[in-house]
C-alpha cells in the first residue's frame, strides 16, 4: 500500500503524491489547482520559472475559501537560476504571486546560476547565442547557504534541491549546515537514476520523483515497449500506473505533470 505521506529529515511530513504545474496551459492552472485540492491532493508543486504562480495562487485562494485549510496543503516552490544570488528576493516574488505567508518546501531548481543581468530574464544566452549565459561566480553552494538562512525568516519550513546528481550532492553535503530535506529529480522506469537515489538514501534525503510516468513528449512510444509492461496476479500495469507504483515502492514522493481531469 502506498503511504499517504513521508517524514522528512526535519520531522515534517510531505504527502506521497503531489500535483505538478509545469507546462500547464495559461488560463487553465487556476481551475486545475482548485479541482485537484477538492479531489484530495494535498501537495502542490510550483516554480517561479513555470510562469504561472499567480494562477496557482488564485486556485489556492478558491480552495481555501471553500473550507480547505492552509495547514492541510503542502506547497513547494523553487528558486530560479537567474536568482541564485538573490534567493530571498525570488522567494518573496513567489509568495506574493501565491498569496501565501510561507512555503512548506523551497528548492534550488538547478545547481547552476545564469547571468542575472543577461539578455533574458529567465534564459539568458551568450552574445553569439551559442549557449546559456552562465554566471560562474555564483556556485550552487553559495546559493545553498542563502537557502539555509531562509529558515531563520519563517518564510520556508523546509529546504531542498532539485535536479542534483551525485556529483553535486558530493560537493554540497560536506559543507552544508542543513542537509537538504528533498532532492526532486526526474525518475521513472526508463530513467531510474539509481546512483543518486542510493546517495540520497544514505544521507536521509527524500527523493521526490517528477514525471514519474515519464515525459510523454520525449519518450513517445517508449511506454509501449514490452519491457515496460508488467503483468502480476491478473492485473496489467500500464504506462500510467507502473511508474508511480515502482517509485513509491522505494520511498519516493511523486509529482506527476498537470492532468486534464478538470476539463
Residues contacting residue 157 through CB under 8 Å, at least 6 positions apart: 10, 12, 102, 103, 104, 105
Cell of 55: 494562477
Is 262 annotated in the active site?
no
Known binder of ligand: residue 109?
Answer: yes
Q: Could you say which of 41, 48, 50, 210 is catalytic?
A: 50
CA angle 4, 25, 90 (to 5 degrees): 70
Q: Which three cell numbers stand for residue 223?
A: 511506454
Give the three cell numbers for residue 263. Answer: 476539463
Which residues are CB-neighbours of 13 under 8 A, at least 6 positions away? 5, 6, 7, 74
Paired with 162 in beta bridges are 184
Positions marked active-site: 50
Residues of each annotated binding site for substrate: 109
Residues of each annotated binding site: 109
Amino acid at each position: 500500500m502506498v503511504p499517504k505521506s513521508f517524514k522528512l529529515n526535519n520531522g515534517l511530513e510531505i504527502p506521497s503524491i503531489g500535483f505538478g504545474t509545469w507546462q500547464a496551459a495559461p488560463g487553465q492552472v487556476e481551475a486545475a489547482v482548485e479541482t485537484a485540492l477538492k479531489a484530495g491532493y494535498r501537495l502542490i508543486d510550483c516554480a517561479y520559472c513555470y510562469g504561472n504562480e499567480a494562477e496557482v495562487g488564485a486556485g489556492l485562494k478558491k480552495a481555501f475559501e471553500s473550507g480547505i485549510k492552509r495547514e492541510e496543503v503542502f506547497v513547494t516552490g523553487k528558486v530560479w537560476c537567474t536568482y541564485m544570488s538573490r534567493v530571498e528576493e525570488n522567494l518573496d516574488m513567489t509568495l506574493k504571486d501565491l498569496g501565501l505567508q510561507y512555503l512548506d518546501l523551497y528548492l534550488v531548481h538547478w545547481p547552476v546560476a545564469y547571468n542575472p543581468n543577461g539578455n533574458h530574464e529567465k534564459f539568458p544566452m551568450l552574445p553569439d547565442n551559442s549557449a546559456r549565459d552562465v554566471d560562474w561566480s555564483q556556485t550552487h553552494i553559495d546559493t545553498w547557504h542563502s537557502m539555509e538562512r531562509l529558515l531563520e525568516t519563517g518564510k520556508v519550513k523546509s529546504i531542498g534541491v532539485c535536479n542534483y546528481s551525485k556529483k553535486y550532492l558530493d560537493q554540497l553535503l560536506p559543507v552544508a549546515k542543513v542537509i537538504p530535506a528533498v532532492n526532486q529529480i526526474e525518475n521513472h522506469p526508463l530513467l531510474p537514476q539509481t546512483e543518486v537515489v542510493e546517495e540520497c538514501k544514505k544521507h536521509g534525503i527524500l527523493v521526490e520523483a517528477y514525471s514519474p510516468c515519464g515525459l510523454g513528449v520525449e519518450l513517445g512510444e517508449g511506454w509501449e515497449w514490452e519491457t515496460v509492461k508488467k503483468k502480476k496476479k491478473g492485473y496489467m500495469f500500464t504506462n500510467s500506473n507502473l511508474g508511480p507504483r515502482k517509485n513509491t515502492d522505494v520511498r519516493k514522493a511523486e509529482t506527476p505533470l498537470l492532468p486534464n481531469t478538470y476539463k
